[in-house]
Amino acid sequence: MTDVQSSPPPAEVATRISARGVRVFYGDKQALFDVDLDVPDRAVTALIGPSGCGKSTFLRCINRMNDTIPGARVEGTILLDGEDVNDRDLDPVLLRARVGMVFQKPNPFPKTIFENVAYGPRIHGLATSKSELDGVVEQALKRAGLWKEVSDRLDQPGTSLSGGQQQRLVIARAIAINPEVILMDEPCSALDPIATARIEELIDELRALYCIVIVTHSMAQAARVSQRTAFFHMGKLVETGLTSKIFTRPGDPRTQDYITGRFG
Amino acid sequence: MLTGLALLVLAAFSGAVFWAASRRAAGLARSPAAPVNSLPFHHGTYAAVWTAVPAALVLLVAALFGDPVETALVKAQLPAAVLALEASDRQVFLDDALAIARGGSRSETPYSPDLEAALRTAASDAHAIDVRVRLIGLGSAGVLALAGAAWGLSRIRAPFRARAGVEKWIQALLLFCSVTAVFTTVGIVASLVWESWRFFQAVPPLAFLFGMEWDPQSAMYADQVVSEGAFGAIPLFAGTFLIMLIAMMVAAPVGLFAAIYLSEYASGTSRAIIKPLLEILAGVPTVVYGFFAALTVGPLFRTGFNAVGAMLVGGPLNDLGLYLGEVQNQMALVAGVVMGVMLIPFVSSLSDDIINAVPQSLRDGSLAMGATQSETIRKVILPAALPGIMAAMLLAVSRAVGETMIVTMAAGLQARMTFNPLETVTTVTVQIVTLLTGDQEFDSPRTLSAFGLGLTLFVVTLLLNVIALRIVQKYQEQYD
Amino acid sequence: MTEPGPSREDLKTTVARRLKARNAAERRFRLYGQVAIALALGFLVLLLGRIVQQGWSTFIDYRLTAQVYLDPSRIDRTDPGGANYDLLIAQQLLKQIGVADDENGTRSDAMKDLVSGDMGFQVLDRVKADPTLIGRTLTVSAPLKANAGLYFKGQVKRSTSEEERALSDAQIDWLDQMRAGGLVASGFNSTFFTRSDSTEPEQAGVLGAIVGSTLMLILTAALAIPIGVLAATFLEEFAPKNRWTDIVEVNINNLAAVPSIVYGLLGLAVFINWMHVPRSSPLVGGLVLALMALPTVIIATRSSLKAVPPSIREAALALGASRTQTVFHHVLPLALPGVMTGSILSLAHALGETAPLLMVGMVSFVPGVPDSLTSASTVLPVQIFIWENASERAFHERTAAAIMVLLAFMILMNLAAVLMRRRFERRW
């Protein structure tokens, strides 16, 4: 298993996502306190921190999935390519077509493998003919590294695959509509080490095309897979920077303590 | 009341045994010989239960079966002259003999002198048998009680596990209670099958199930040969089916969409208000719905259709107008619509549970892809919930088919095969009610046909329920 | 990697273009849901509103207070029962409003139709109790007959033509005169709650039905709750998980879905014909309804028992309690609120059941109040059914009023269940 190197992103890298002053409230309880973060394009940014520190909450702000939680309130600005995602005039449907999400537990729909991947293109009207749709599905499955394994059984239910395959199916589903950003919320925590390694390989391939933000519990995974890392603690963004730097010479003592395992 | 008295005495005796056993067990605990396994309470209960329960069972058996046994014994001893009588006269004789024996009053039937003498003999025989049976019953109960007491008291030793013994009795009681549910099913099946079998002696099952004419009135004069053709149940099945169909056309969409709205769109407060209101709709007794159908909806629909008919008369749809002017209150549409309203909360509540059972992760997955909420519902949630919803609809159909009061009060009595909702039809349940609430001799094929209908109804609803259950079970594994 | 397929700019415009139609579809879909809810609630309002509208007038009745002179020439002291009190009263009323009777007595007959026969009975009873009253004047008060009452409530109108009306013009005139003369007053219809069924609507009440329902429910509760709770306890806590218990469980679920009329047939065949339980008694009704309520009590108890966490059982067992002690000292008491709630709800449901009771003979006319479990009786829902079939208009309003009483009981029981659940439910 080769170590996925955390090479620095090219010097002239665009910032895809720019968050300023993000605060999130669940009812009266505040979960995020004034988060400022820039996420570069064509790179993997890892959000790390102990349980309940708000990293998943922040992730879900980016594609406004917090809207689905009753009582949740989001303040601050999150710019995607210069557009504020929380703008009232921006339809979340449009936003979520540009920002894909992969969840902790693989959640393929109870449909065939083909239909799972075709779901996005269908609802957004991206394929005008059957052959076009077939092409889109095939390409997405190839990019997700799943094509060879399922090309002969596209009409089987998505739930008949193994855990690791299901997660790759979900990734294929997400990239079938060619989003700009892919958000991943602890995508490997429900998978065995071999499946995890495959997914991490896939993430490294995908970063050439997409802006990827990954929340992970495992610092080792963050070190393997990401180029930039942001450390959250108790709802605050403590430190952010190049992955290599964070893990070798963190600036903040809290980061240092977390990395060395003094708390978790 | 003799049984009651005996039970009281038994209870008092058991109480005394309990007290005696507890005292003795307590005495044991004081002497340091060996550690005592159970509390005095347990020893006492153990002894008391062994005293009371077998004896009480005997008393109950005697109470339930004593009379039939006596009657049988007396019958066996009747002289030839009595046996030569007509069956009904013989029954009267028997009843009189038993009545005299028990100190009651006899009928006023005059008997010939021979028979009078026979009557007196029979009465004294009956009396003797009566006394004997009672003595046997009480005697055996008493013996069992004493034996039980002796047994229980003799067991009182330190290592004796009285608590375990008592707990075995308790578990036996629990087991017995569980089995009553099975007894109920057995009872239903047995009684339906038994009475239907008697019906099928007079009317063959095929003629019943596939006959096209239902007219029990015409078949009923005592010495007339029962006309098989009068008991064809197809028109009833057709009527039941028609009304069920109309009801489902109302209840299925409204109930399903109400459930979708409640589980996917409604805010917490709306849900908290609307759900109880729907529960109220569900709790209204069906007789109230029937009243509503008969006195409000029926006249309303009739007036409406008559008015439309009046408007059409004289124009190109003249015939239709005349027809509409003649429709009556009791059209199938009325019963069907009201039944549908009754079923709305049933469908809604079941569908709500099913939709809520679809994991949130599927919703999140779909929404995160940029689907609108209605697309998520239509393309992900409902297909996932489909087996459960189909099962819910089957259960609603089963409910509709078995519903009685709404149709009895709002539908009619004319057995007719039609798909026209403006006609008056009758259903299986209405006929069961009509056949059994008139004047009835219990054994006539007319009243027995009600059991045939009941058996059919039971089988059909059972099938629907079993299929619904299978559907749910088969697709359950999806979410594991 | 190259990027075949739609470019990101294409994506944005394609998606944006379809967005309007999709959002419109979303709004429509949401609307369907709202319409469905509105329909359902609308039906509820319509149903309840109509019942109240039809029934509330029952609770007011119009009573006539008359001075009745007990003419000694008409009443024989030795046989007070032989006199025709109704005629006597009618004639005296005519005199009081200044209308002369005609030779054939048609007017006094018409007046008789305005006053409840109850008045005559009251006079008879008082004369029988104290014959010295003959020759004196009594003040007697009784309800007006049903149609007369309907006139005052506005349901019999002058505007209808006389042939289609229940009362003649003359009768209506007399009623107005009696009202003007202060003989007629309106008040709370206590008869409705103190009397039982009767052929005369103004004398009909729901007392017998209420008592019958109560007796029957007590019996149902006494049978279904203990047996159901104990059965569920066995199935949930003691029974081994094998094929037999599976069969029993399937059995119970099926029984819960059997149509109620089939239980009625069971009651008819087994209880009445085989065991000779008296027809139409609270005993047989209670037995049938207990069998009906049993599966639901079992199911409710089982889910309450399931909700008690295993840690409670483990803690008790670890201390050396036996299975039986664990269940009866710890698990069952904790499950009790859920059990009580489920039982009350199934009793409330049993209260409204009609069809099975029709099968066991409760459809006959029962004028009195049942005094034991084996005497003939009726219950509220059956009373409603019987009255609904009656042809007299005055029974319509009474049927609706009886429905209001039934619903009031059911609401009370449901409220009790909900309150109990709120107060005692534990969230684990």
Yes or no, beta carbons of A91 and C6 under 8 Å apart: no
Closest in C11, C18, C23 to A177, CB measured: C11
Q: What is the pLDDT of residues C386-400, one digit of tens each?
A: 998 887 788 888 999
Please give the share of chain B, as a percent, with pLDDT higher than 70: 92
What dihedral do alpha carbons A245, A246, A251, A256 form, nearest 10°? -130
pLDDT at B34: 64
The DSSP call for residue B245 is H
The DSSP call for residue A229 is E
Yes or no, beta carbons of C8 and A209 under 8 Å apart: no
Give the three-class secondary structure for C292. Answer: helix
Amino acid at B312: L
Q: What is the pLDDT of residues C220-237, one digit of tens each?
A: 999 999 999 999 999 998
Helices (H), C58-143: 85-96, 106-112, 117-129
Structure confidence at residue B141 as a pLDDT band (50, 70, 90): confident
User: Residue B89 has which token pair?
Assistant: 């006269």
Chains near C with 3+ CB pairs less than 8 A apart are A, B
Weakest-pLDDT range from C170-184, C285-299, C301-315: C170-184
Weakest-pLDDT range from A200-204, B460-464, C172-176: C172-176
Closest in B284, B286, B287 to C47, CB measured: B284
CB atoms within 10 A of CB B40: 20
Handedness of CA C221, C222, C225, C227 (dihedral sign): negative
pLDDT at A264 over 90: no
Using a 10 angstrom Cβ sphere, with 0-12 exposed, 13-18 middle and 19 or more buried, the burial of residue C59 is middle
Q: Which residues pair with C1 in a beta bridge?
A: none
CB atoms within 10 A of CB B269: 8
The DSSP call for residue A43 is S
Closest in A65, A96, A110 to B384, CB measured: A110
pLDDT at B415: 82
Q: What is the pLDDT of residues B80-128, one digit of tens each?
A: 777 777 766 777 777 777 777 777 777 677 777 777 777 788 788 888 8
Query: Mean of the pLDDT values across residues A212-233?
Result: 93
User: Residue C271 has which token pair?
Assistant: 């209880």
Give the CATH H-level superfamily of domain A15-259: P-loop containing nucleotide triphosphate hydrolases (3.40.50.300)
pLDDT at B4: 79
| Structural contact between residues B239 and B427, judged by C-beta atoms closer than 8 angstroms | yes
The DSSP call for residue A13 is P
Structure confidence at residue B227 as a pLDDT band (50, 70, 90): low
Structure confidence at residue A226 as a pLDDT band (50, 70, 90): very high
Q: What is the pLDDT of residues C94-138, one digit of tens each?
A: 888 888 777 777 888 888 888 888 888 888 888 888 888 888 888
**Residue closest to B465 by CA, chosen among B378, B372, B402:** B402
Handedness of CA B70, B76, B79, B83 (dihedral sign): positive
Structure confidence at residue B35 as a pLDDT band (50, 70, 90): low
pLDDT at B71 over 80: no
Q: Within its chain, how far is the Cα of B84 from the centroid?
A: 42
Beta-strand relationship, C60-69 and C137-143: antiparallel
Q: How far apart are alpha carbons C307 and C93 in whole angstroms?
A: 71
All residues of chain A having their beta carbon less than 8 Å from the beta carbon of residue C3 are 178, 209
Structure confidence at residue A4 as a pLDDT band (50, 70, 90): very low
Q: How far apart are alpha carbons A215 and C347 in whole angstroms?
A: 54
**Residue closest to B342 by CA, chosen among B280, B388, B413:** B280
Distances (CA, A) of C351 to B284, C138, C195, C414: 11, 44, 20, 12
pLDDT at A3: 40
Q: What is the pLDDT of residues C73-92, one digit of tens each?
A: 877 777 777 778 888 888 88
Give the three-class secondary structure for B226. Answer: coil
Closest in B267, B365, B370 to A103, CB measured: B365
Mutation site, A61, A107, A122, interface B, largest B CB count within 10 A: A107
Query: Mean of the pLDDT values across residues A47-68?
Result: 91
pLDDT at C10 over 80: no
Q: How far apart are alpha carbons B40 and B50 in whole angstroms?
A: 16
| Structural contact between residues C41 and B277, judged by C-beta atoms closer than 8 angstroms | yes
pLDDT at C246: 85
Q: Which residue in this structure is represented by tokens 């594991």?
A: B480
Yes or no, beta carbons of C12 and A91 under 8 Å apart: no
pLDDT at C1: 40
User: Residue C107 has which token pair?
Assistant: 């007017």
Beta-strand relationship, A228-233 and A236-242: antiparallel
Number of A:B CB contacts under 8 A?
71
Query: Mean of the pLDDT values across residues A77-103?
Result: 90
Own/partner contacts of A219-225, CB < 8 Å, gap of 24 or more, are A219/A48, A219/A247, A219/A258, A219/A259, A221/A46, A221/A188, A221/A196, A222/A46, A222/A48, A222/A247, A223/A6, A223/A247, A224/A3, A224/A4, A224/A6, A224/A200, A225/A4, A225/A6, A225/A44, A225/A46, A225/A200
CATH code for the part of the protein at C207-424: 1.10.3720.10
Name the helix (H) or strand (E) containing A185: strand A181-185
Task: Give ∠ CA A18-A24-A26 in degrees, rounded to 5.
Answer: 155
Q: How far apart are alpha carbons B257 and B330 in whole angstroms?
A: 29
User: Residue C151 has which token pair?
Assistant: 């006139």
pLDDT at B220: 54
Q: Concatenate the DSSP letters of all residues of B76-109 into one string.
A: HT--HHHHTS-HHHHHHHHHHHHHHHTT------
Q: What is the pLDDT of residues B264-310, one digit of tens each?
A: 999 888 998 998 899 888 989 999 999 999 999 999 999 998 888 88
Judge whether A90 is closer than 8 Å to chain C, CB to CB. no
Buried b (16+ CB within 10 A) or exposed e, A61-94: bbbbbbeeeeebebebebbbbeeebbeeeebbbb
Q: How far apart are alpha carbons B281 and C41 in whole angstroms?
A: 8
Closest chain B CA to residue A183 = B368
Structure confidence at residue B158 as a pLDDT band (50, 70, 90): confident
Q: Which residues pair with A24 in a beta bridge?
A: A32, A74
Give the three-class secondary structure for A132. Answer: helix
Amino acid at C425: E
User: Residue C132 has which token pair?
Assistant: 């010295």
Residues present in chain C in total: 428
Yes or no, beta carbons of C15 and A94 under 8 Å apart: yes
Query: Mean of the pLDDT values across residues B240-253?
Result: 96
Q: How far apart are alpha carbons A213 and A210 in whole angstroms?
A: 10
The DSSP call for residue A8 is P
Q: Which residues pair with C186 in a beta bridge?
A: C62
Mean pLDDT over all residues of chain B? 85
Q: What contacts A118, CB < 8 A, 6 or more positions away?
A: A127, A133, A136, A137, A176
Judge whether B81 is closer than 8 Å to chain C, CB to CB. no
pLDDT at A12 over 50: yes
Structure confidence at residue B223 as a pLDDT band (50, 70, 90): very low
Please give the share of chain B, as a percent, with pLDDT higher than 90: 33
Q: How far apart are alpha carbons C161 and C168 in whole angstroms?
A: 9
Query: What distance, in Å, lies between the first and last C-alpha atoms of chain A?
Result: 27
Judge whether A208 is closer than 8 Å to chain C, CB to CB. yes
| Structural contact between residues B36 and B155, judged by C-beta atoms closer than 8 angstroms | no
User: Residue C184 has which token pair?
Assistant: 């007629």
Q: How far apart are alpha carbons B397 and C351 in whole angstroms?
A: 24
Structure confidence at residue A2 as a pLDDT band (50, 70, 90): very low
Q: What contacts B11, CB < 8 A, 6 or more positions away?
A: B52
pLDDT at A237 over 70: yes
Residues present in chain A in total: 264
| Gyration radius (Cα) of chain B, Å | 33
pLDDT at B344: 96
Angstroms from B185 CA to nearest CA on chain C: 7
HSE-up of B351 (CA within 13 Å, CB side)?
Answer: 30
Mean pLDDT over all residues of chain C? 87
Q: Which residue in this structure is represented by tokens 């449909």?
A: A111
Dmax (CA) for chain C in angstroms is: 123
Amino acid at B178: S
CB atoms within 10 A of CB A129: 8
All residues of chain C having their beta carbon less than 8 Å from the beta carbon of residue B370 are 15
Which CATH code of 1.10.3720.10, 3.40.50.2300, 3.20.20.70, 3.40.50.620 fits the domain covering B216-479? 1.10.3720.10
Query: Mean of the pLDDT values across residues B208-223?
Result: 72
| Structural contact between residues A167 and A187, judged by C-beta atoms closer than 8 angstroms | yes
CB atoms within 10 A of CB B120: 12
Using a 10 angstrom Cβ sphere, with 0-12 exposed, 13-18 middle and 19 or more buried, the burial of residue B221 is exposed
Q: What contacts A32, CB < 8 A, 6 or more positions away?
A: A22, A23, A24, A54, A57, A58, A61, A235, A236
Yes or no, beta carbons of C14 and A209 under 8 Å apart: no
pLDDT at B154 over 70: yes
Buried b (16+ CB within 10 A) or exposed e, A47-59: bbbeeebbbbbbb
HSE-up of B251 (CA within 13 Å, CB side)?
Answer: 34
Q: What is the pLDDT of residues B343-353, one digit of tens each?
A: 999 999 999 99
pLDDT at B10: 87
Structure confidence at residue B407 as a pLDDT band (50, 70, 90): very high
Name the helix (H) or strand (E) containing A16: strand A15-26
What dihedral do alpha carbons B171, B177, B178, B179 form, nearest 10°? 110
Closest in A63, A70, A107 to B365, CB measured: A107
Weakest-pLDDT range from B401-405, C274-278, C343-347: C274-278
Q: How far apart are alpha carbons B51 and C327 in whole angstroms?
A: 26
